Amino acid sequence: MKKTEVKKLTMAAMLVALAVACSPFSIPIGASKCFPVQHLVNIVGGVFLGPWYSMAAAFCTSLIRNLMGTGTLLAFPGSMCGAFLCGYLYRKMKFLPAAYAGELFGTAVIGGLLAYPVATMVLGKEAALFAYVLPFFVSSAGGTVIAAVVVTALVKNKVLDQVLA
């Protein structure tokens, strides 16, 4: 395994640990638990690690949170779609607002729509098709605002570039 891959894997694991450790901080909106720290982690991972590592970290975080009882199955589609799209758009455009938009759209719209079958077929809840789009957007927007401040500072000071170099 290359040294760069080990560094990326280590950073992804640290982001998972941060997200899991902050999992008690959630905001209930409708039937979902909104978790702004996850969106912060998604954006940091997407920008500095790329779409695949970020999506893997989102999956691991959702899995651990579900096993601990601090998350719901709805965390999987929202966090994973947002993390991947954030990383993908940033990799293609090298423009931070594209990463933020990717997290918002991926989590709120794509993840919100994918949460519908999870809620109705797996969890047995009655829900409208767009029922999770607004709650996911609110959660994602909060985390994105926090991430915009944090990621801008990290990029400006070249902190993570030195770590991952």
Res 32 pLDDT > 60: no
How many other CB atoms sit within 10 Å of the CB of residue 128? 9
pLDDT reported for residue 143:
87
Q: Between the CA of residue 11 and those of 26, 48, 94, 114, 158, what are the distances in Å? A: 23, 9, 20, 28, 15
Element holding 34 (H helix, E strand) = strand 32-34
pLDDT reported for residue 110:
93
How many other CB atoms sit within 10 Å of the CB of residue 53? 20
> Which burial class, exposed, middle or buried, applies to 121 when counting CB atoms under 10 A from its CB (0-12, 13-18, 19+)?
exposed
More confident residue, 79 or 35: 79
Binning pLDDT at 50, 70 and 90, where does residue 30 land? low
Closest CA to 85 of 63, 64, 109, 65: 109
pLDDT reported for residue 113:
87
Binning pLDDT at 50, 70 and 90, where does residue 31 land? low
pLDDT reported for residue 164:
66
Tally the residues of the chain. Answer: 165
Which tens digit of pLDDT belongs to each residue from 57-116? 999 999 999 899 887 888 898 899 999 999 999 999 999 999 999 999 999 999 988 888
Q: Are residues 55 and 18 in contact, defined by beta-carbon separation less than 8 angstroms?
A: no
Q: Give the 3-state secondary structure of residue 107.
A: helix
pLDDT reported for residue 97:
95
Residue ranges of domains in the chain, CATH in brackets: 3-19+32-164 (1.10.1760.20)
Residue 99 gets which letter from DSSP? H
Q: What is the largest CA-CA distance in the chain?
A: 49
